[in-house]
Each structure stands twice: as structure tokens, then as C-alpha cells.
Amino acid sequence: MIFDKTHFSEDLITSKIKTGLYIILTTDEDDSRPVYLSGNFNNWLTQDKDFVMEKVGAGLYHYKFTHDFNYPETLLYKFTKGDWSAVEIDANEERTENRSTTKHTGIQKEHVFRWRRNWLPFKPNFLPQIQLISDEFEIPQLNATRKVWALLPHDYDYSNENYPVMYLQDAQNLFNENAEYGNWEIDKKLAVMSEYNVGKIIVIAVEHAEEDRLKEYNVGKTILGKGQGKKYIKFLVETLKPYVDSNFRTKKEREFTGIGGSSMGGLISIFSGLRHPDIFGKLMIFSPSLWVVPQIKIKNDADSVNTKIYLYAGGDESETMIEHVETFKSRILESEFVDDKMKINLSINKLGKHNETYWSDEFPKAIEWLFFNT
């Protein structure tokens, strides 16, 4: 039975339920995306299929907690359209506080004025601290120097916390407003995430080698020629990570250490993770240039089984992009050393193009899943 929220009667529901808590949601902005409940009852997962609300009318949704549900003492929750990029906000586009109830039965009526769109707006006071570690950080393995940046949580100076670390390639395109091809806006995305306590990480961003980028991100001999990727990976593992762990409050263990990038930056991140699963426990791989080495060797290593890999590909990038990432995922899962402990999330945007705009949208989703979705 479909109800219109303007003529909605609680009697229609109360007549159908005798026990359990029934949440009724009305919203001013309605679209075809499902609405999810996220709260302290499901570790704040934003796309939990067990807590998707049923749409029963225009801007009208409901969800019933069963009579035998294991309630927290106080039920805390928010409504989202599938992730924190589309969480509820108030009429003034401000963050809403957690909703709460101690009810275990009856009806709880709620209303959402608006939904956040593409992680905006953001609050400047939550922006990460951006530090230029060095504009000539030495890379002895390549006899070169490079700009290396650190993005620290906004309250880093006022806390004693240690943080997970994500090492990202192509720093020129991550937060630079003047980047030629646009940027990922990771500073703004991390600001919004920090509001919801799911973005407090340290990001170490390494600028690429300009005209030597392809050579530096290419490992071994491929169709691009002989690469210097092995030396670059040694720099990350033997030089940069020890420096970062010595100079910042990091969680040093592999389960708190990630590496990522897009295109060729995604490819070198794959190689880094496969060669050093003892160092990198989380891989964020966007639109990887697997065409360079389609038969990439999958290293069988006992450390690999606890690795989390977030794979992303766009359907409007190339004719083979989705095929390559799906094949790569399958080959990893077929490894004799991989069991249920390895987690791979393959995200495909059928309309996605090979550019910073789509990687920007995927970045916070990947960070949340890799570091904050246990």
C-alpha cells in the first residue's frame, strides 16, 4: 500500500504492529536513491542493506526494528543516501547532530530537510593542516628530489592521538586549486569526513616526476619500456615511511598503513602493495593503468590475506578499463593464499571518466571503507 505523506495516518501503522520500534521519515528533497539508517547499532555503516528504509510514498519512508532487536541503551542514528557524501543536513545546510531515542516500541517520527551533495558544503575549521615537508625531499634510490606534503587532521596540534597513514601519488593533483586538470579536493573531503569522525588520518602526498612520471611509476620492463618503479617503491618503504613515522604521530603497523593513486599512480600503488604486503595493508586503486602490464604477477604471501583493496573504475574511461580491474580482482581472489580475511571492494561508475572529478568523488568513500569500516 502506498501512502502520501500529506495524508499519512499513524493508525495505518499502529494497526499493523504490536511490538518493535517503527521509524517514519519524511523528507523535503526526494529522489530515487534509497535511504539508509546508520548508527551505533551497525558501527555507523552508511550502506547497510539490513537497514535500508522502505519507500512508501513521495518523500515518505519507514523502517521497523523487530521486537527481538538488540538495542543499545540509547539508539543513535542518522539518515543517509548511501554514504557520508549524501548524509542528512538541516535547512541551512548545517550538519545535524545524531538523532536518538530510548524507545524499543512505538513510533518515532523524523524529518530531513536536505541531503549533502558531493561532500559539500565543508567547514573551513575542519580543513586538514597542510604542511610542505620539503620541496627537495631526497630520493637517494633515484638520485632525485621531490616535493612531499603532509595533510594532518585539523586538530593534530591539540591532541595526543596517533593516526593511520595513506601514501598518495601525484600530489600536484590532490589539493592544488590551480592544477591543470583539476584536483581531487582531498582537503575539502577530509574536512567533511572529520565532522563525522571518519576522516582523521594523515595523508602523505608525493609529487610526481613531471616528464619522468611514466618511467618512475612503471615497474620492470613493460610496453612502456624499462621503468624505475622498483627504485621508487624502495624510496617509499626504506626512506619516506621511516621519516614519516619518526616525525609524525602515526600508527606504524601495516593494518593502519595505506597506499594509493590513480592511473599510473594506481599501478605503482598495486606494485607497492603486492611487493610489500608487510608494509601496506590497505590499497586504494583508482582507474589503474593495467594495460601496461595486463598479466601482473600476483605475489603469494601470508601477509596478503589481511589486506583491504578498494578498486575503482569508470565505464567511460576506455574499452578495457572495467575488464582489466575485474580480471585483476578475480586473479587475486584465485590466489591460494587468499581467504576470507582479504577484502576487496570493487566500485564501478558506468558513467565515470578518466579524470580528477570522478576520483575526487570516490576518494572519501574509499577512505571510509579502508580505514573506518571494520
Out of 1-5, 150-154, 191-195, 327-331, least confident range:
1-5
Radius of gyration of the chain (CA): 23
Ramachandran area for residue 371 (φ above 0: left; ψ -120 to 50: alpha; else beta): alpha
Q: Which of 134-148, 175-189, 288-302 has the highest mean pLDDT?
A: 134-148
Asked whether the predicted pLDDT for residue 150 surpasses 90, the reply is: yes
* CB atoms near residue 220 (< 10 Å): 13
Cβ-Cβ contacts under 8 Å for 6 (sequence gap 6 or more): none
More confident residue, 356 or 294: 356
Full set of structural domains in the chain with CATH: 5-115 (2.60.40.10), 124-372 (3.40.50.1820)
pLDDT at 47 over 80: yes
Regarding predicted confidence, which is higher, 205 or 15? 205
Comparing 304 with 238, the larger pLDDT belongs to 238
Q: How far is CA 148 from CA 134, 206, 210, 236, 256, in A?
A: 6, 5, 14, 11, 20
Please state the pTM of the whole predicted model. 0.80
Phi, psi torsion values for 187, nearest 5 degrees: -65, -45
CB atoms within 10 A of CB 177: 8
pLDDT of residue 2: 45
pLDDT at 16: 53
Assess contact for 123 and 191: CB atoms under 8 A.
yes
Flag whether pLDDT at 299 surpasses 70: no
Of the pLDDT bands very low, low, confident and very high (cuts 50, 70, 90), residue 95 is: confident
pLDDT beyond 50 at 313: yes
Of residues 147 and 1, the one with the higher pLDDT is: 147
Task: Check whether 197 has a pLDDT greater than 60.
Answer: yes
CB-count exposure of residue 327 (10 Å: 0-12, 13-18, 19+)? middle
What pLDDT is recorded for position 36? 97
Give the model confidence (pLDDT) of 208-255 as tens digits: 999 999 999 999 888 888 889 999 999 999 999 999 999 999 999 999
Residue 140 pLDDT: 97
Q: What is the pLDDT of residue 43?
A: 85
Whether the Cβ atoms of residue 128 and residue 203 lie closer than 8 Å to each other: yes
The string of pLDDT tens digits covering residues 254-263 is: 999 999 999 9
Give pLDDT, residue 14.
52
Confidence at residue 335, expressed as pLDDT on a 0 to 100 scale:
66
